[in-house]
Structure 1
Amino acid sequence: MIKLERPDCPPKLVLKKDELTREYKLTKGSVWKKTFITNPLQKMSNNKCCFCECKLGEEGKYMQVEHFYPKNIYEDKVVDWNNLLPICMRCNTHKGSYDTYVNEIIDPTILNPPDHLYLSKYRLKGKDDLGKLTVKILDLNDTEEISVPRFKIADAVVNKIEEAFDLVESYNPQTGEALKEAQIIRKVRSILKQCTSKYVYSAIVSTVVLSDHLYDKLKSELVNKGIWTTDMQNLEDTAKTIKFDVKS
């Protein structure tokens, strides 16, 4: 889970909000299923679930519109822009009609998840009651649907770090091996790009990369050999903003 920046309310929703709210109260229909609502929500989250960060639209994980404050309790908020989030079916099923007014969980458009969550052996844990309740309600350590996929992605990126380290360790900047240098740069940028918000499980990947002892050695080698770039540093700085603290 990462912090999301909510864009301004779509102009068409501003115009139609009252009409759609009345329609919902009368019909209980899915009045939020409008492209002028769903498209901006998907863009806001880089087409990922706002809670578990899985890719929406893959393997049956089509996007649903989450009502942070449940619509069946708070009907006036059914198309309130600040109440809508992009979510996968799994997370939506777990959250259901849980009343977030009574017991708050993390709204990633308002709160910064790493302030309330930490990572322990690929499992999310709560730093405080808010974080603990969020993990529990959303089942954010669901073994089959979340933990295994994020472990596989994180494990793959660790393997990439090892490959990049082997390459850079054997690289001699004095020989001017341009092709090898380009290969190293591409591989390291690929690793760091997976730590950015557009990629699935980016918070987990960022945490794993930046806490990997070999990554520190890799960076030191790159710096010492003059191929650590400004772009790499910018990507690393971005990763630091979404990583979780790690505890054993």
Structure 2
Amino acid sequence: MEKSKAIPQGYMTVGEVAKKMGVTVRTLQYYDREGLFSPSAESEGGRRLYTDKDVVKLHQILSLKHLGFSLSDIKNRLIPLDTPNEVAEVLAEQAAALRDKIEALTESLREIQALRSEVLQMQAVDFKKYADIIVNVQMKNNFYWLIKHFDEQTLDHIRSRFDRDSGLAFMDAFTRLQDEALRLLKAGEPPEGQQGQALAKAFWAMVTEFTGGDTSLLPKLMEIGQFKGTDNAWQQKQALVNRYIEPALGAYFSRLGINPFEEGCK
């Protein structure tokens, strides 16, 4: 009874606050020393005393800490809690930070699931390919799954020639040209016609950019649409694209008087 009389009504000791908030007394003492969370009053005996308002502030601190903010960050983010608007602003900040955290975790989960799926389809453990897959998933390159089909020579070539931005630009160009081939095929445009030859020229420029003039890579590129284990939609699309691209390139090379695919197979 004597102890309870020593604590004014409406105040809590450091032990009571620690128990209420699920932290240790040592943690609260550390926050006090850092100037982050100090008691509102002291008893006549020198005991730290806290109010309900202090508990709300501690909740704010613990919430931000849980979200990964450093103590210095938390100091800068703490605001007064004297009006409903101020309290609402704190809660809005915490909600926004939590949404960012959820988005980041959701993205990490997507990357893990994508990598797991690719790992299970690969014949051997290959951490270099795993790293390439993760990087391309993070880039939101929808063709990341092709990586498992490439040999080390091709992957080394890709790593040396393309960075994040140029890699994405290349895949965008690849997709646009494929879609254009499908459009011309559907429209009945002849591969040897003006539009077909314009497509062949752009397609060959893209291939040349990819190979950097290394014709030994051409046969491997021709295998892309025939990889085992790819889904039917991908294979069907590649078959349609090739139905137009192959004769368009054939006519294009005939006009130029070259056959780079034969050179690449030597």
Q: With structure 1 as the length reference, what TM-score do the two structures score?
A: 0.30
Higher relative strand content: 1
TM-score normalised according to structure 2 size: 0.28
More helix by share: 2
Structure of greater Rg: 2
Pick 1 or 2: higher relative contact order, CA cutoff 8 A, min separation 6: 1
